Amino acid sequence: MKLFSFYRPLPLRCMMIVVISFLIALLVGYNFAPELEDWGPKMVNFRDTLFVPVHAPLSERHPKLGKYVAHNTKVIALALCIGPVIFFYPLIRTVCLGGIIGAALWNLGSPWLWGRFLLPHSLVELPVSLYVDAVAMHGGLRWLAGGPEGRRGILKQELVANLKLLLLLMPLIVFAGLLEAYVTNR
């Protein structure tokens, strides 16, 4: 099959940079979450209010599945398309994601609530997102360095390879959407 013809090894250096920057942003977001409460939209703070589970009926969850899958696909496709041209875009996206998750973890307050709100779908979605960011950053650095085939040839190779990678990651994106719609609490 032509889909598996282009093998993409894991870019270790880029992956280490992405994971380390994500973890640093996660810690920063967690530590500075109390100071950031006045800046953006109000998040539900379960440190001050009691958590009362509200289970949405299945009729409300079915339309959300399509929205979650479409959003995750759009975000990952955007990183795979922009990353080879602007190599630092995936890194900025990773840092923002880490900061938001860190602030959300602080607002949830308890590891039990972390497991209810973030853990089910983030076990699938987060590794896919970090892997895509590392691959896109690696492609951008390859394009920036150039090569014998020229930057245009490298860009074409990267975009075709990233499209194939997106098609290979679609089952994981759909599975993360299923977990987010039907398992994760809202």
Structure tokens at 158: 């990267």
C-alpha–C-alpha distance, residues 102 and 109, integer Å = 11
Q: What is the pTM of this model?
A: 0.82
Element (H, E) at 144: helix 119-145
pLDDT score, position 149: 82
pLDDT of 49 reads 63
User: Which DSSP state fits 118?
Assistant: T
Give the residue from 166, 175, 67, 80 showing the smallest Cα distance to 125: 175
Asked, for residue 34, whether it belongs to a domain, the answer is no
Query: What is the C-alpha to C-alpha distance for residues 125 and 112, in angstroms, rounded to an integer?
Result: 19
* pLDDT of the residue at 52: 59
The answer to whether residue 159 is domain-embedded is yes
Number of domains within the chain:
1
pLDDT in tens, the chain (186 residues): 555 555 566 778 889 999 999 999 999 998 988 777 666 666 666 666 666 566 666 666 677 888 889 999 999 999 999 988 888 899 999 999 999 888 888 877 777 777 777 788 888 999 999 999 999 998 888 888 877 888 888 888 888 888 888 999 999 999 998 888 888 766
Residue 141 belongs to some domain of the structure:
yes
Looking at the domain assignment, is residue 83 inside a domain?
A: yes
Q: For residue 41, tell me if it sits in a domain.
A: no
Asked whether residue 142 is domain-assigned, the answer is: yes
The pLDDT of residue 6: 53
121 exposed, middle or buried (CB, 10 Å; 0-12, 13-18, 19+)?
Answer: buried
List the domain range (segments joined by +) for residue 69.
Answer: 61-90+112-182
The pLDDT, as a whole number, for residue 3 is 54
Q: Is residue 100 part of a domain?
A: no
